[in-house]
Amino acid sequence: MPKAASNIDALLAKAATAAPSPASHSKHLHLVPVVEKLMANRFNLMSAVRWLKDQGEITEAQVDTVYRSIRQHFLRNEAKAAKA
């Protein structure tokens, strides 16, 4: 299994048990399944992105970009679903 795939599998496993902390077509879309899993565990989008930063998957400088990218992805999918 390629390293990236096993890394995503490990992140998905961590996301399944993670608890939120109090506190476009993009290269970041591969993180969407992890974010969706976290959101199913009552994270909001920003908390999920910050969790990815805490896991070392993205840098602090990437947090806003990743957040906007994934948010836009969700909005695009919602618009497509509304048209269907």
Contact 30, 51 (CB under 8 A): no
Is 44 within 8 Å of 21 (Cβ atoms)?
no
pLDDT tens-digit profile, the chain (84 residues):
456 667 888 898 888 888 765 444 568 889 999 999 999 999 999 999 999 999 999 999 999 999 999 999 999 888 888 887
- Asked if residue 70 lies in contact with residue 49, where contact means CB atoms within 8 angstroms, the answer is yes
Would you list the domain boundaries of the chain?
Answer: 3-83
> What are the backbone dihedrals phi and psi of residue 76, each rounded to the nearest 5 degrees, phi first?
-60, -45
Residue count (the chain): 84
Quick one: tokens of 15?
Answer: 């996301």
